[in-house]
Chain A
Amino acid sequence: MRRGSFLAISILSMSAYAQTNTAIDWTGYYMLARGRDAAGLNIISPNFGKTVIDHLQPWAKLKMETTNGSADDTGAVCLPSGILRGSGMPFSGNFLFLPHGDKIVMVMFQNVTSGVRRIYLNREHPKNILPTWNGDSIARWEGDTLIVDTIGFNDKSWLSAEMAPHTEETHLTERMRQIQHSGSTYIEIVATVEDRLALTSAYTYSRYYKKQTREMPVAICADDIQLWKEWRNNALKKMNQQAREVK
């Protein structure tokens, strides 16, 4: 009887613990922690580009080497660049985290290139996913950790700034946790990327995002039309030149 009561109390306590942790309001504007903000945090794979390259299959490495880092970088001309290379980029590491009901909306600071992520907590992945830049994200809680599972990426984005390619088989798993560090609130994201067609094995990296006391400004990739046209034309010129060289 005593054992039964103890078990019941334990289950109730565990349930209360899980509820308490999942009930924390994560709403806020978070920025990738660097320098002093990142001191003392356990950052896995700080050299993100090298980590990715070390895991590429030969064909993927070859494709990376033959890719023009300027001409083929969609994000550099205000086109989408997806979320997979996000944490390695200075400008894409910031986001607005908006949980509401069974959905979390992550508005990336560079919303023109990294867009908006919608993470669903109440459903499975659709059976026939139309591949997109940011894929399809679903999540579940494990205690105080949000496990986010993303598939359904298109193969137009790059894994890193070095133009490391991936395929539509890419599978991203993120373990998100809110932590306190040096008096500030952070979201810790431990991400694992798998791609049986492009990678020799999965790679893992972690990043920390510090909650800001200020508001997220609106980012416009290019609001000077003339400057943007000039830039786009230069990029197109490089692409044409590259195509001619390949021929």
Chain B
Amino acid sequence: MKRIMPLLAALVMTWARCASAQGNGSAPDLAGVYQSIPNETTLPGRLKNSGSPREISLLPKAAAQAKTTNLKDDPLRMCQPIGPFRMMARDAVKIELAPATGLLVILHENSLLGVVRIVYLNRGHAPHVVDGPEPGQEPGPTGREKLCWWIQSDSIREPG
């Protein structure tokens, strides 16, 4: 019991600190519109952009696939989503961070390319991927349902 007491006390103190931090709302308020800085810019503290999509080294299978991809079908050319990896690495990308209770929503200035990212602050990853129309939804009046796909925001997975 004597051994457990210090552990319990530490746990209680940690919990108290966490509860206090949450209660004080000490998490930074990230709300606002942000624009990425140019690559040649260095901020105080020697902070600057690093890394580039051009530096990505692909596995042979992926490299072969990249070579055979028709760039005319680049979704970027057709105002279609390009995914978070390319989107966040674009020059002068602008994002709006919209925090709310238990959520942080990332909105891109170009919503067609960037869609919406929803970051959940109150849970781990969902155990399943939803793929299909929402329960209770009726088919669209213009046949739009044929083109619509619903994906969970956390459905990006390594190929199995």
Chain A contact residues, CB within 8 Å of chain B: 25, 27, 31, 34, 70, 73, 75-76, 78, 89-91, 94, 96, 98-101, 103, 105, 107, 111-112, 115-116, 161, 215-229, 231
Could you say which of B16-24, B50-58, B138-146 contacts chain A?
Answer: B138-146
Known: A111-B111, A161-B141, A216-B118. A225 touches B80 (CB 8 A): yes
Q: A27, B100: Cβ atoms under 8 Å? A: yes
7 pairs, CB–CB < 8 Å, chain A vs chain B: A98-B100, A105-B100, A111-B115, A116-B107, A220-B151, A222-B148, A228-B80
B102 on interface, CB distance cutoff 8 Å: yes
Q: Name B118's contact: one of A76, A115, A218 (CB within 8 Å).
A: A218
B89 on interface, CB distance cutoff 8 Å: no
Known: A98-B103, A116-B111, A218-B151. A228 touches B118 (CB 8 A): no
Give CA–CA (A101, B32) in the complex, Å: 11
Interface string of B59-100 (1 = CB under 8 A from A): 000000000000001010011110000000000000010111
Give CA–CA (A101, B99) in the complex, Å: 10
Interface centre among B29, B80, B136, B139 (most CB of A within 10 A): B80
B137 on interface, CB distance cutoff 8 Å: yes
Q: Name B31's contact: one of A27, A31, A96, A100 (CB within 8 Å).
A: A100
Q: Name A217's contact: one of B120, B139, B150 (CB within 8 Å).
A: B150
Q: Name B120's contact: one of A91, A107, A215 (CB within 8 Å).
A: A215
Known: A78-B147, A107-B105, A161-B141. A100 touches B99 (CB 8 A): yes
Give CA–CA (A107, B78) in the complex, Å: 22
Q: With both chains docked as a complex, state the minimum distance between the C-beta of B3 and any C-beta of chain A, in angstroms.
A: 43
Contact partners of A103 in chain B: CB under 8 A: 31
Q: A90, B100: Cβ atoms under 8 Å? A: no
Chain B contact residues, CB within 8 Å of chain A: 29, 31, 73, 75, 78-81, 96, 98-103, 105, 107, 111-112, 115-116, 118, 120, 126, 130, 134, 136-142, 144, 146-153
Q: B78, A223: Cβ atoms under 8 Å? A: no
Known: A70-B142, A105-B105, A111-B111. A98 touches B98 (CB 8 A): yes
Contact partners of A218 in chain B: CB under 8 A: 115-116, 118, 150-153
Apart from A98-B99, A219-B148, 10 more pairs, CB < 8 Å: A31-B134, A75-B142, A78-B147, A90-B138, A90-B141, A116-B111, A161-B141, A215-B152, A220-B151, A222-B147
A78: nearest residue on chain B (CB-CB)? B147
Q: With both chains docked as a complex, state the minimum distance between the C-beta of B10 and any C-beta of chain A, in angstroms.
A: 33
Q: B112, A112: Cβ atoms under 8 Å? A: yes
Q: B147, A25: Cβ atoms under 8 Å? A: no
Interface centre among A34, A90, A227 (most CB of B within 10 A): A90
Give CA–CA (A70, B136) in the complex, Å: 25
Q: With both chains docked as a complex, state the minimum distance between the C-beta of A70 and any C-beta of chain B, in angstroms.
A: 7
Interface centre among B112, B130, B146 (most CB of A within 10 A): B112
Q: With both chains docked as a complex, state the minimum distance between the C-beta of B137 and any C-beta of chain A, in angstroms.
A: 7
Q: With both chains docked as a complex, state the minimum distance between the C-beta of A97 and any C-beta of chain B, in angstroms.
A: 8
Give CA–CA (A91, B148) in the complex, Å: 10
Q: With both chains docked as a complex, state the minimum distance between the C-beta of A81 and any C-beta of chain B, in angstroms.
A: 10
Q: A27, B152: Cβ atoms under 8 Å? A: no
